[in-house]
């Protein structure tokens, strides 16, 4: 095990043994692939069995792969898929009619409808042969037809089936850069944009670029979206945790960053970058502009790359908070290319669009020298390009219909309907969690998640121990078995040792929320009744 | 520089210094990011310059990234893009009217039209709202509408915008497995299928799984498709080369495999896997079934994973050769799950479909234990899923229209038209190369490439040296400047030291081939006249 995790606000680590325990504690996951009960939907095959001798075994594969964990698609989800299959074949197999996937930010899987205009344009670009046909006028809005022509004209030979430039189609990057300029009020350069298959591959690319060995550290929030811990593990680096302060609404304190940076440096770790997720995942907080300025200043002073996960930039639900990109904040401080290295990640999977399956996204890379950016381009070129539909969609979300366009009214009604409903759902769930015995839940300011804290009775912790589960994982499994609701235990994201949480998305359709609240409340009451001291 | 390359049929390597030179020799690329003349389309920005001090520099990024090379999108292509821009602004800037990209297997970029049925289905799945509309009947074939409904019914909630199962939508994997069974006559398990954004990410996943350190080696053909060398470099492993024998039509000799395996083992390298590209890239050969059997036997005996790049399985142009999947070959030998670990890569980018921009593909993974496959699934889950359009397209290419379907006739006419034209283009170009002074070209049996060998005059080699170029790169640059034709120098793929080649795709549209032949022939004659001794 080459990777180790260092640093803690709680002075927990002294020896490397303790370090290991610490890592297990803050980042242990419910995703256990070697568990004794592989569930039905896991990739098992009738033609092979684990008793057979195979050439490639766990003891001969890359240990970084084994170490990597990804909780939001972990054991609980595998179990949920198994229950779903059981319900399909036998509808009364369980005390619920359907599985409610609150584990992952996947809005359309729970019934959210795509934005019509976006899908019109995608369909027309997929099959341009119909653009000239008269029937098409009756099926598609005029501005979707016009936009499809515009986009096709930006693609050499109008070939939507060709590999594009490895950073993405130039005309689409122009559109995205223009969208960033409108958002921020500062110039954006299309040559800084790298289009990717969702934001995840962009995060991997930056980790691959920055991590040379386990002596390179990446400052990550705890709790964090486990893509970061997974990617750092796969690339052989060290996750340097900093804690978000639950007591101040998941506040990000620069004093905490400094402390963790110093601790890790004293251990011989070179900290390369700071990951900030804003709006937060799994925590749902939205950073204040003053806080962001202090973070920028910290990165500049300490020479850290700022990796800004801004995929929830459209998901802000409270009037007192507003999304500010880190680029806008640092440019407004008078900083530019030579002052701070900044990568902003954006995705078509989130916002009001929620087009997860399209795998579109981009990163805007500023403050890197031409020579380093050419290395990023080279790595991008090894995979040729991201998918063209995802590229087109990324340009659409950064340049949606405008006032006066035929689709504008329907588009804005769809967008506002989704966002206001998400805000109501967030508030309802937040209130419901706060009414549960032993549960406290911070305000859902943004993103798609709540991350309530649960004080579990001692007897429940003992029962979890007996079941060889982390206590929060035990709670989530019991909840799933009783209600069909799928949450992710806090241990998959990291949490202050000794505290327990779970992540719950705000994505089930609004009409289902009351029933979910009732089921959650009833389950929780009976769980607490069972284990209360 | 941690990675080193070992082994050579030519006994070239003794010291580590020589090893390094060997690597540079067989795999040196024309892709020089630090060249003194960055071209216009490279990712440069007006707001940053290399004279500025930046936080992240080449000396502080991951050296594996710097080491990685990818010739098919290298320096020559960057130069070509620059020339193209110049032509656009000033049509008579160069002695040619257009750039002919023969550097990469990107058929639609050169005018190949997509298969209508496939695009109809994709468009309908992108915008299912039109499926019920009467105008749709007039615009789309009946079977494309039916297929779209079938596919939507396989997707939970018909949500084409949701993340799918991380291996891909189960119903689509069922379809693909059924297609493999039809192709091979042996059972295929949908749980063995991992859908990916093209084949490249699947190759990366396997390299990530198998490579633990620079002591792990991967046997790769020389010449090879540089994805393999790039991926091995990025994952910190060792490329163990084996030479294809140009004299026997790029024959793959098991004796050569054994020799390289033994050499590498004597150097302390653990060889994990054998990469075979069939039909070959860049070489265009199609393996005989007997040869494949010997390769399977070799992998079984030596305990190597067989990584079978079979993305050109539909691209066979000579009646005496036929594509046989390695799975079919090994199953027909009586081997199964417990005998050989086999990964077959397939892509929607090649074949007659050529849908590169859709980024669809899959790998079929057999002979791995459940525990290891769960690790592969875990790594897949970190990126959530591949894009749904690409997944749908992968199912379509493995299950195209059948006799009796409304689209069958147009579909088969489109398919046969493309494949027979490719066969004619391959033959015409092969003959043309063989008529050039000092050039010999093996038969194009399959894939999309020719890889002719060129004996360059001593004076040309000296001129290349003076220009600080590899001789084949020098030839290709001169060709580009004179004709607008873009080839990739052999040094990007690896070649026997002291020999020179280039790769040329057979993809320019057929009506352009005569002019290309004339331009090539004229250029070559004047080049040889200039440098003939």
List pLDDT tens digits, range A38-54. Answer: 333 334 343 433 344 67
Same-domain pairing of A393 and A429 = no
Other C-beta atoms closer than 10 Å to the C-beta of B403 total 7
Is pLDDT above 90 for A513? Answer: yes
Q: Which two tokens stand for residue A176?
A: 């995205």
Task: Tell how far CA A476 is from the center of its chain.
Answer: 20
Give pLDDT, residue A105.
Answer: 92
- Whether residue A461 sits in one domain with residue A356: no
Chains A–B, number of C-beta pairs less than 8 Å apart: 376
Predicted complex ipTM: 0.90
Calculate the CA dihedral of residues B505, B506, B509, B512 and round it to 10 degrees.
90
Question: How much of chain A, in percent, has pLDDT values that exceed 90?
Answer: 81
- CATH code of the domain covering residue B352: 3.40.640.10
Distances (CA, A) of A89 to A43, A84, A167, B403: 20, 9, 46, 34
Residues A335 and A431 grouped into a single domain: no
Question: Which two tokens mark A108?
Answer: 């359309």
Tokens of B76: 């020559």
Token pair listed for B371:
């525990």
Considering only the beta carbons, identify the residue of A204, A341, A387 that sits closest to B56: A341
Q: Cβ of A337 and B382 within 8 Å?
A: no
CA distance A100 to chain B (A): 13
Quote the pLDDT of residue B73.
Answer: 73
d(CA A445, CA A423): 9
Summarize pLDDT for A31-89 with one digit per residue, the tens: 222 233 333 333 434 343 334 467 788 989 999 998 888 877 778 888 998 999 899 89
Task: Give the gap in angstroms from C-alpha A456 to the nearest C-alpha of chain B.
Answer: 29
What is d(CA B525, CA B437) in angstroms, rounded to the nearest whole number?
8
Higher pLDDT, B47 or A265: A265
B193-196 and A305-309 strand pairing: unpaired
Structure-block tokens of residue A118: 């976006």
**CA B397 – CA B400 distance, rounded (Å):** 6
**Boundary residue ending a domain (A398, A431, A447):** A398
Q: Do B382 and A157 touch (CB under 8 A)?
A: no
Specify if A32 maps to a domain.
no
The answer to whether A130 and B133 are in contact (CB under 8 A) is: no
Contact A120 B109 (CB under 8 A): no
pLDDT mean over A126-133 = 95
Residue (of A518, A516, A506, A487) closest to A430 by Cα position:
A506
Domain assignment of residue A116, yes or no: no
Give the residue from chain A lying closest to B232, CA to CA: A382
Using 50, 70 and 90 to split pLDDT, how confident is the model at A327?
very high
**Model confidence at A449, in pLDDT bands (50, 70, 90)?**
very high
The pair of structure tokens assigned to A254 is: 């620069």
Strand-pair category, B361-366 with B238-243: unpaired
Nearest to B130 by CA among A353, A108, A135, A405: A135
Q: Please report residues of A whose CB lies closer than 8 A to that of B56.
A: 209-210, 305, 341, 368-369, 372
Q: Are residues B308 and B280 in the same domain?
A: yes
- Residue A459 and residue A474: Cα distance in Å, rounded? 12
B45/A357 Cβ within 8 A? no
Does a structural domain hold residue A22?
Answer: no
Contact check, Cβ <8 Å, B57/A372:
yes
Closest Cα of chain A to B468: distance in Å? Answer: 20
Q: Which two tokens stand for residue B49?
A: 């310059």
Q: What is the 3-state secondary structure (H, E, C) of A368-401?
A: CCHHHHHHHHHHHHHCCCCCHHHHHHHHHHCCCC
What residues of B are in contact with residue A331 (Cβ under 8 Å)? none
Which alpha helices (DSSP H) does B346-457 contain, by range? 370-382, 388-397, 408-435
Q: Give the chain B residue nearest A42 (alpha carbons).
A: B374
Nearest to B389 among A62, A70, A387 (CB): A387
**Per-residue pLDDT, A166:** 94
Inform me whether the pLDDT recorded for A22 exceeds 70.
no
For residue A177, being part of any structural domain is answered with: yes
Shortest CA gap B526–chain A (Å): 32
Q: Which of B54, B191, B340 sits opposite A341 (nearest CB)?
A: B54
CB within 8 Å: B120 and A127? yes
Chain B contacts of A47, Cβ < 8 Å? Answer: 187, 189, 336-337, 366
Interface test with A, best of B48, B50, B78, B192 (most A CBs within 10 A): B48
Q: What is the pLDDT of residue A8?
A: 34
Residue of higher predicted confidence among A508 and A7: A508
Nearest to B208 among A65, A162, A191 (CB): A65
State the nearest Cα–Cα gap between B382 and chain A, in angstroms.
Answer: 6
Mean pLDDT over A260-277 rounds to 97
> What pLDDT is attached to residue B53?
63
pLDDT at A335 over 70: yes
Q: Are residues B217 and B315 in the same domain?
A: yes
Among A345, A316, A341, which residue's Cα sits nearest to residue A231? Answer: A345
Residue ending a domain, among B369, B398, B427, is B398
B303: left (phi over 0), alpha (psi -120 to 50) or beta: left
A375 and A254 part of one domain:
yes
- Comparing alpha-carbon positions, the chain A residue that sits nearest to B237 is A62
Query: Do B476 and B517 share a domain, yes or no?
Result: yes
Candidates B351, B326, B313, B205; CA nearest to B276 is B326
- A128 CA to chain B: closest CA distance, Å? 9
3-class secondary-structure state, position A68? coil
Crossing angle for the helix pair A408-435 and A513-531, nearest 10 degrees? 20
Distance from CA of A525 to the nearest CA of B (A): 32
The alpha carbon torsion through A308, A313, A317, A320 (nearest 10 deg) reads: 70
Closest by Cβ to A387, choosing from B44, B373, B390: B390
pLDDT given at position B77: 87
Provide the shortest C-alpha distance from residue A36 to chain B (in Å).
11
CA distances from A135 to A141, A407, B70 (A): 12, 18, 45
CA pair distance B201, A273, nearest whole angstrom: 25
A45 assigned to some structural domain: no
B253: in domain: yes
Q: What is the largest CA-CA distance in chain B?
A: 74
Say if CB B384 and CB B196 are below 8 A apart.
Answer: no
d(CA A287, CA A250): 9
Q: Are residues A273 and A367 in the same domain?
A: yes
Q: State yes or no: cis peptide before A455, omega within 30 of 0.
A: no
Residue A319's Cβ-count burial label (10 Å; 0-12, 13-18, 19+) is: exposed
Contact call for A38 and B374, based on CB within 8 A: yes
Check CB contact under 8 Å for A192 and B355: no
With CB atoms and an 8 Å threshold, state whether A54 touches B368.
Answer: yes
Q: Answer whether residue A3 shows pLDDT above 80.
A: no
Cβ B224 vs Cβ B309: under 8 Å: no
* Same domain, residue pair A161 and A274: yes
Min mean pLDDT across A4-18, A321-335, A394-408, B369-383 is at A4-18
Residue with tokens 């030839």: B475
Which chain A residue has the Cα nearest residue B104?
A: A163
Contact A374 B163 (CB under 8 A): no
Provide the β-strand partners of residue B194.
B363
Residues of A in contact with B49 (CB under 8 A): 370
pLDDT at A88: 87
Taking chain B (533 residues) in runs of 10, the rounded mean pLDDT of each run is 34 34 41 31 40 75 89 82 90 90 92 97 97 94 97 94 95 98 97 97 97 97 94 96 94 96 97 97 95 97 97 96 97 94 98 97 95 93 94 98 96 97 96 96 95 96 94 95 94 92 95 94 96 83
Chain B, nearest residue to A81 by Cα: B165
**Look-up of token digits 């379509």:** B396
Is residue B489 helix, strand or coil?
A: strand
A413 CB burial (10 A radius; 0-12, 13-18, 19+): exposed
Query: What is the helix (H) or strand (E) element at residue B45, kind and residue range?
Result: none
Mark residue B334 as left, alpha or beta (left: phi above 0; alpha: psi -120 to 50; beta: remaining). left
Q: Which residues of A touch B337 (CB under 8 A)?
A: 45, 47-48, 52, 54
H-type alpha helices, A235-279: 254-266
Residue B518 lies in a domain: yes
Rounded Cα distance between A305 and B138, Å, is 54
Find chain A residues with C-beta within 8 A of B54's C-beta: 337-338, 341, 367-369, 372
Give the nearest partner residue to A55 out of B48, B341, B381, using CB atoms.
Answer: B341
Task: List the structure tokens of A184.
Answer: 């921020």
Of B109, B160, B376, the CB nearest to A159: B109
| Residue B476: CATH number of its domain | 3.90.1150.10
CA distance B469 to B527: 16
Strands B502-505 and B449-450: antiparallel
Q: What is the pLDDT of residue A70?
A: 80
Of A210, A230, A349, the CB nearest to B382: A230
How many other C-beta atoms lie within 10 A of the C-beta of residue A57?
12
Q: Are both A80 and A173 inside the same structural domain? A: no
Query: Which of A32, A43, A173 should we substitute to test contact with B (largest number of B Cβ atoms within 10 Å)?
Result: A43
Going by DSSP bridges, is the β-strand pair A342-347/A361-366 parallel, antiparallel, or unpaired? antiparallel
What letter does residue B300 receive in the DSSP assignment?
Answer: H
Number of domains in chain A: 2
Q: Which of B57, B209, B374 sits opposite A33 (nearest CB)?
A: B374
User: Is B129 in contact with A136 (Cβ distance < 8 A)?
Assistant: no
Which residue of B63, B108, B187 is in closest CB contact with A161? B108
Q: Note down the domain range covering A473.
A: 67-98+418-531
CA distance B505 to A162: 15
Mutation for A interface: B161, B281, B304, most A CBs within 10 A:
B161
Please tell me the predicted confidence (pLDDT) of residue B33. 27
CA distance B273 to B304: 5
Instruction: Please give the Cα distance from A170 to A168 (Å, whole number).
Output: 6
Whether residues B370 and B321 share a domain: the answer is yes
pLDDT of A69: 85
Task: Tell whether omega for the bond before B209 is within 30 degrees of 0, i.e. cis.
Answer: no
Tell me, what's the pLDDT at A11? 32
Residue pair B177/B190 in contact (Cβ under 8 Å)? The answer is: yes
Answer whether A349 sits within 8 Å of B136, measured CB to CB. no
Q: Give the DSSP H or E segment for A273.
A: strand A270-277
Q: How far is CA B164 from the centre of its chain?
A: 26
Task: Among A43, A209, A373, select the one facing B167 at the smallest CB separation.
Answer: A43
Q: Among A398, A432, A457, which residue terminates a domain?
A: A398
DSSP H stretches of helix in B71-169: 75-89, 116-126, 134-139, 142-154
Are residue A175 and residue A297 in the same domain, yes or no? yes
Backbone φ, ψ for residue A194 (5° rounding): -120, 110
Question: The tokens of B231 are what?
Answer: 């991926």
Q: Answer whether residue A521 is part of any domain.
A: yes
Distance CA B265, CA B240 (A): 10
Provide, rounded to the nearest whole percent, the portion of chain A with pLDDT above 70: 90
Residue B258 has φ and ψ, to the nearest 5°, of -60, -45
Contacts of B354 in chain A (CB under 8 A): 161
Given an 8 Å threshold on Cβ–Cβ distance, is A212 in contact with B63?
yes
**Is A92 a residue whose pLDDT tops 80?**
yes
pLDDT over 70 at A20, yes or no? no
* Closest-CA residue of chain B to A385: B357
Closest residue by Cα to residue A349 from A362, A336, A338, A360: A360
CB contact under 8 A, A387 and B359: yes
Q: Is the pLDDT of residue A13 over 60?
A: no
Pick A139's closest partner by Cβ from B104, B133, B227. B133
């Amino acid at each position: 095990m080459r990777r180790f995790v260092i640093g803690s606000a709680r002075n927990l680590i002294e020896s490397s043994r303790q370090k290991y325990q610490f890592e297990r504690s803050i980042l242990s996951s419910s995703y256990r692939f070697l568990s004794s009960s592989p569930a039905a939907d896991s990739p098992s095959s009738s033609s092979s069995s684990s008793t057979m001798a195979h050439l490639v075994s766990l003891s001969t594969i890359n240990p970084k792969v084994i170490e990597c964990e990804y909780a939001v698609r972990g054991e609980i989800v595998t179990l949920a898929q198994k229950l779903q299959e059981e319900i399909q074949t036998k509808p009364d197999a369980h005390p619920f009619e359907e599985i409610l996937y609150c584990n992952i930010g996947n809005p359309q899987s729970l019934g959210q409808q795509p934005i019509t205009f976006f899908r019109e344009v995608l369909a027309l670009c997929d099959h341009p042969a119909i653009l000239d046909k008269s029937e098409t006028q009756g099926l598609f809005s005029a501005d979707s037809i016009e936009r499809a022509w515009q986009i096709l004209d930006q693609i050499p030979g109008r070939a939507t089936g060709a590999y594009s430039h490895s950073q993405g189609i130039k005309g689409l990057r122009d559109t995205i850069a223009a969208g960033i300029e409108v958002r921020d009020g500062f110039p954006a350069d299309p040559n800084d944009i790298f289009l990717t298959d969702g934001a995840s591959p962009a995060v991997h690319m930056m980790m691959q670029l920055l991590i040379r060995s386990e002596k390179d550290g990446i400052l990550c929030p705890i709790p964090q979206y486990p893509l970061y811990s997974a990617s750092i593990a796969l690339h052989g680096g060290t996750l340097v945790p900093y804690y978000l302060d639950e007591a101040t609404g998941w506040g990000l304190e620069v004093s905490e960053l400094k402390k963790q940076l110093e601790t890790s440096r004293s251990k011989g770790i070179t900290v390369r970058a700071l990951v900030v997720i804003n709006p937060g995942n799994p925590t749902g907080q939205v950073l204040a502009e003053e806080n962001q300025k202090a973070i920028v200043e910290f990165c500049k002073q300490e020479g850290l790359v700022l990796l800004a996960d801004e995929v929830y930039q459209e998901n802000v639900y409270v009037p007192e908070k507003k999304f500010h990109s880190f680029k806008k904040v640092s440019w407004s401080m008078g900083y530019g290319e030579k002052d701070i290295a900044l990568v902003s990640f954006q995705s078509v999977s989130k916002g009001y669009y929620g087009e997860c399956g399209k795998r579109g996204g981009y990163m805007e890379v500023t403050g890197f020298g031409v020579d380093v950016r050419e290395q990023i381009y080279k790595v991008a070129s090894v995979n040729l390009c991201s998918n063209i539909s995802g590229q087109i969609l990324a340009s659409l979300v950064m340049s949606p219909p405008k006032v006066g366009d035929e689709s504008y009214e329907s588009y804005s009604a769809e967008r506002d309907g989704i966002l206001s409903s998400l805000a109501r759902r967030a508030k309802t769930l937040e209130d419901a969690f706060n009414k549960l015995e032993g549960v406290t839940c911070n305000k859902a300011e943004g993103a798609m998640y709540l991350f309530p804290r649960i004080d579990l009775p001692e007897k429940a912790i003992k029962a979890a121990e007996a079941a060889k589960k982390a206590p929060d994982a035990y709670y989530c499994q019991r909840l799933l078995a009783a209600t069909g609701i799928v949450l992710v235990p806090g241990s998959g994201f990291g949490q202050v040792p000794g505290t327990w949480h779970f992540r719950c998305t705000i994505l089930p359709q609004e009409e289902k929320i009351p029933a979910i609240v009732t089921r959650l409340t009833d389950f929780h009451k009976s769980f607490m009744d069972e284990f209360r001291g």
